[in-house]
Amino acid sequence: MKIAPNVSPAKRAPDFQDGSSIKIPSLQILNQDGSIVAGATVPDLSRDQAQKIYSDMLYTRMLDERMQGAQRQGRLSFYLTCTGEEAAVAGTIAAFQPQDMVMAQYREQVALRYRGFTTAQFMNQLFSNGQDLGKGRQMPVHYGCRELNMMTISSPLATQIPQAAGYAYGQKLKGKDACTLCYFGEGAASEGDFHAGLNMAAVHKSPVVFVVRNNGYAISTPCCEQFASDGIAPRGLGYGIKAIRVDGNDILAVYAASLEARRIATQEQRPVLVETMSYRLGAHSTSDDPSGYRSKEEEQEWRDKDPIQRMKNWLITQRWWDEESDTELQKSYRTEILAELKLAEQRDKPPLRDIITDVYKTVPSHLLEQFQELEAHIAKYPDRYSA
């Protein structure tokens, strides 16, 4: 039985290795003006799929703008935007198959949209009404959909990383032609779950693709105060995981890297780490004010690298899109989103009993007792809960 670690041949004098010397370049294929980087290999992307990817990115931007506005109006309690990171999500989800499980963090609205999540479903979850798939039990933006293989988002940071490693190992044991796609931000990579999840995936050779959206900030903490290494990609190498870094605002680079990442995960049956370098153009959430920790000049520098504008420029150079189509699509999305918002906020809330259903096959006595106490309390003070 082999128990010794796999180490290199011994040296005869101390020779410490400096991890700061590890520098991983970013893959870039598309320039901001829509032209192709000299010598770059363009992935095979059909006109129909390219238009769908762009349309879903644009839809997400419209959704984020409207829902942030709704929160400011007091119609919604909380919201998180994907603004500035749309290509990092759209380019990855488009390279995977419907049978692949997705475990997201909370900026992956475009992944849901790409798989068919409707505007009504977005709104029902955000307003926690009776048609919400989660039965009103989750905070806004904590989406989930069994039919679309989208695991429900949880609030604690990074919990999905070890879960993804384990789920993917289960896919492997069952011999499924599928893998798991796991999203998180670079701030989540500072959690213990990140290290536990990557090590587990590496040891068991789980077919999981970890996508870390390096958007520059973990709430108000910039990358330079989070880690001394060259981003997150080198950590994958440290765990024996293949890793790549891409320009997260470049839809073609993200898509090309993701196609290969899925191939490695499914055909070689091993984990992969993809680091997308982008920028969170919006606030961390509607509870955050980024003006307190970053400058307008910094934000503008990244606005000039907008991933949606970059893809639009490329589509126009391909003669697959034009300004008139863009204006009409934005108008239709705004109309649709506002109409569904108004409907969702008028729908009844889930029945109270949904609090204890669908958790256990049979409701245990202690939960039933607590629920009966709650009903008695509400009956005693009806005016407090009439709304």
Quick one: pLDDT band at residue 17, thresholds 50, 70, 90? confident
Domain 22-350 fold is: Rossmann fold (3.40.50)
Is 293 noted as a catalytic residue in this protein? yes
Domain ranges of the chain: 22-350, 355-385
* pLDDT band, very low/low/confident/very high, at 41 (cuts 50, 70, 90): very high
Considering the candidates 72, 293, 377, 385, report the single residue annotated as catalytic: 293
User: Do the beta carbons of residue 214 and residue 231 sit within 8 Å?
Assistant: yes
State the pLDDT confidence band at 10, using cuts at 50, 70 and 90: confident
To the query of whether residue 284 is one of the catalytic residues in this protein, the response is yes
Average pLDDT over residues 328-344: 98
Is the per-residue pLDDT at 2 higher than 70? no
Of residues 213, 280, 310, 333, which has the active-site annotation? 280
Q: How much is the mean pLDDT over the chain?
A: 95
Q: Which of 61, 245, 262, 284 is catalytic?
A: 284
Per-residue pLDDT band at 50 (split at 50, 70, 90): very high
Write b or e for each residue in 197-208: b if 16 or more Cβ atoms lie within 10 A of its Cβ, otherwise e: bbbbbbebbbbb
**pLDDT confidence of residue 253:** 98
For residue 119, give both structure tokens.
């505007």
Determine whether 204 is an active site residue: no
pTM (two decimals)? 0.94
Task: Say whether pLDDT at 256 is over 90.
Answer: yes
Which of the pair, 312 or 386, is modelled with greater confidence?
A: 312
Per DSSP bridges, beta strands 101-103 and 208-214 are unpaired
Among residues of the chain, what percentage have pLDDT more than 70?
Answer: 97
